[in-house]
Each structure stands twice: as C-alpha cells, then as structure tokens.
Amino acid sequence: MKEVAFIKQNKSKWLEFEQLLASNHPQNPDEMANLYIHLLNDLSFAQTYYPKSKTTDYLNFLVSQIYRKIYKTKRLEKNRFWKFFKTDVPLTLYKYRKTMWFAFAMFLFFIILGAVSARYDDTFVRMILGDGYVNMTLENIEKGDPMAVYKSGGRMGSFIGITVNNVYVALRAFIFGVLAGIPTFYIAMTNGIMVGSFQYFFYEHGVFVESLQGIWLHGAMEIFSIIVATASGFILAASVLFPGTYSRFNSFRSGFKESLYIIVSTVPFFVAAGFIEGFVTRLSDSMSLWLNLVIILGSFLFIFFYYMVYPFIVAKKSEKGKELSHYIQSIN
C-alpha cells in the first residue's frame, strides 16, 4: 500500500485519537488501552513499509502520548507538580525567552557597573553596603576569616531566615511589575550593583578567591533566581503596558498567570540556596577546593540549564508533535 493511501485510510481515526489525547477530561482505561493497541498495529505497519517517513514519526508520537496516559500514576497531585516543572514552566520560559535573556544581560551589566564604580570611587562600597557591614567585613579579613559573616547564628535559623528573605525579595520584584516594572528594574539594579561592588571590595583586599568560594556556593542559585524573578516582573509589566490585540484586563490576567508560573518555579532554588548558605557556606574555608567548585559550577549549570536551555528542548519536542499533526491533516 502506498503511504498516501495508508494515511487517507486511517487519517480520521488518528485525528480522533489526537483530539481524545488533547482532552483534559479523564479517559476510560479500557478505551485508552484499545487505542494503544490500534495505534501500535498502525505504527508497526508504518515502521515496516515507511520506516523513515513523517507518518511513522507521527504514529510514534501518538503512541508515546497514549502510553503516558495509560501508565501515569494515580497520585494526581504529584503528576501535576511534576508536569508543572517539566512542561508548564519550560514552555512559559520559552515563550518569554527574550525577556529572560534581557534580564540576565541587564543584571550582568549592573554587576560590572558596581565593580567599576567601586574601582574608581573609594566611598562607593560604603554607600552601597553601609559602614557597619564594611567595617565588620574588614575586621573579619584582618582576622583571616573574610567569610565569618556566614558562620554567625544557628544553622537552621539562618537557613529559614535567608530563604524567607530571598523569596520576599523575589516576590517584590514580581509584584512590582504592575507599576510599569520601574520598581522591578530598581531591585535588579541595586542587587546587581551590590554584587559587583561587594566582589570588587574583596578583590581590592586580596581575598577575591576566598570570597568566590564562599559567596557563590549559595549565590549561584540565589542570584540567578533573583534574575528570574526580575524577568517575571518585566513580563507582568509588559502585559499591562502592551496588551496588543487583547483588552488590558485580559492581557494582565494572562501575563499574571504566566509570570506567576515563573516566580513559583524559583522557590525550590531559593530553598536550596538558603540550605547551602545556612549549612554549607560556613564550611567553605575547610572544604576542599574541588568540592567547592563542584557545588558552585554544578549549581550554576543546573539552574542555567533549566531556565535557559531546557525550555528550548521542551518547545522543540512540542513543536515537532504539532508539525507532524499538520502534515497528516494536509493529506487529502
């Protein structure tokens, strides 16, 4: 049988299966199993006679979708939680990928600006961080323990306090997006400048490496998550300022939902960063350099992959399914 004839013979059945899969209503397990058997037979036929065709790819896609529907766990809430991070957030991030890259580039610019300002203005660091904090840090450097500030307080108390504070900062960056994103921009600017000037301060006093080993143990996830929160605030701002063809209210409602997805996704990273700062950073001076680097690079690569790379992978897979469906529908 020619491939076109095979498609015409089964097209209506496949598209019906596709609509059933796209439905959010619970499916009858027996019906799904019957669908699975039918499609497996069609896939087997296609693999035999059209092994490298789009038809085979399409049927393989449908079979994999039905397989997941049949064998997914009955613990619905767990499935929703997993789907949220595996699919919903990445697809939202892909939609707003330009905003994400803009927020990342902007934050990097402010870090550089903070370092350059500290380089050419001796009073800049004190103006940004305050005399009390600078004097305390100088005393710690003189004592040979520049990261002593991270060793104060109890481990659990530090973990909880740091996590709550970081989530609070992120929520402010997000919510302030309704004010045209101006406060969100200010939060990003002040945090970026603070990081840059703080790092230059340690460089100026000869403890740059020690500061990198201490600060970025938790900072890799913490600072990147703040960048993500900034991007979510800008997304919310854009939904208010640029509604496009939607009413301003509908645009805001959609923007709020999508940016909320993104800000919620940062919470586990803030918790992880708080845990590292509360329990691990205080051990940075006694930790082997290799272990230190593994944690820092591992943390940064993981969060960078999730927010900047993984969305492209999920979107590409999603687009492939749509392209295959359009191909089948185009056969008359």
3-state secondary structure 25-82: CCCCHHHHHHHHHHHHHHHHHHHHHCCCCHHHHHHHHHHHHHHHHHHCCCCHHHHHHH
Who has greater pLDDT, 230 or 284?
Answer: 230
301 pLDDT more than 80? yes
130 pLDDT more than 50? yes
Confidence bin at 305 (pLDDT 50/70/90): very high
Condensed to tens digits (0 to 9), the pLDDT of residues 67-105 reads 766 655 444 445 677 888 998 999 999 999 999 999 999
Domain boundaries, the chain: 3-72, 95-311
3-state secondary structure 281-311: HHHCCCCCHHHHHHHHHHHHHHHHHHHHHHH
In this prediction the pTM is 0.75
Supply 233's token pair. Answer: 């605030």
From residue 284, give the alpha-carbon distance in Å to each of 194, 216, 268, 290: 22, 10, 22, 11
Condensed to tens digits (0 to 9), the pLDDT of residues 152-198 reads 778 888 899 999 999 999 999 999 999 999 999 999 999 999 999 99
Cβ atoms < 10 Å from Cβ of 22: 9
Share of the chain above pLDDT 90, in %: 54
What's the CA gap between 18 and 58, in Å, rounded? 10
Confidence bin at 111 (pLDDT 50/70/90): very high
Condensed to tens digits (0 to 9), the pLDDT of residues 56-70 reads 888 888 887 777 666
The answer to whether residues 21 and 69 touch, using CB atoms and an 8 Å cutoff, is yes
Supply 76's token pair. Answer: 């619905």
